[in-house]
Amino acid sequence: MEVRRFKLAGRVLPIIGIIVLTKFFCHYNNLEFLSLNSLFTAIISANIFLIGFLLSGVMSDYKESEKIPSDISSSVEAMADEGKSIMSKDKKEGKEFILHCTILLESIKEWFQGEKKTSDVMSKIDNLNNHFILFEKYLQPNYIVRMKNEQNFIRKSINRSHAIKDTNFIGSGYDIAEIITILLIFGFIFVKMNPFYESIFFVSFVSFVLVYMILLIKDLDNPFGHNMKHETENVSLKPLDQARDRLIKYLKENSL
């Protein structure tokens, strides 16, 4: 079982511990001045509804983001296939193009991990044109057009990923959800519920769910947060590694 599945819960538990200790302090010092009523439970329901709305919104972007690394690797490999056919006519140029594709895949992975700038990746994508010009004497125009289309798709995918990384889904929605959750937690601390030890269970349980869901939404809103130590729900970059490894293997098997 993967440890990262519990990483987010591990971030929430210390917060719940503080809430429970504060609740004990307020109870034994007679600081509970609020009474539990239907309005309080209605606010909890409204906040859960808002959190559900935010979660459904970020999930659509997350599902789209999951496809991006595999789509990019497929496009790069599709271009590399033309380089393999070029090797029968110009071995040096074919190998250089495939090598460029492997470097491009590695650069894109490093960009997702926050180790390279967007301009660096775009430069490597643009440099594919140098190879396309040399390919014109070996390939028919429709093959070059197909490779240009793959190049354009990769460029669009990088731009789309950049927008997803830098854009928050309804920032004001996050703010109101956080404010309501904080006010509810303060309400849990100062509300008087009997029996007391049952109230501890419900306070800790509801607080855990609310805090956990807000952190999860923030995590899902940045599916490419591989460079952030607190991010847990990042999309897999394995398709990029696997495509790069296949191309490297091909180069090794066909190097003379």
Element (H, E) at 138: none
3-25 confidence digits (pLDDT tens): 556 777 888 899 999 999 999 99
Classify residue 249 as left (phi > 0), alpha (psi -120 to 50) or beta: alpha
Res 71 pLDDT > 90? yes
Integer Cα distance of 109 and 120 in angstroms: 12
pTM score = 0.78
Integer Cα distance of 86 and 138 in angstroms: 7
Residue 1: pLDDT band (50, 70, 90) is very low
Average pLDDT value for residue range 109-117: 88
60 backbone dihedrals φ, ψ, rounded to 5° = -65, -45
Q: Where do the domains of the chain lie?
A: 3-253
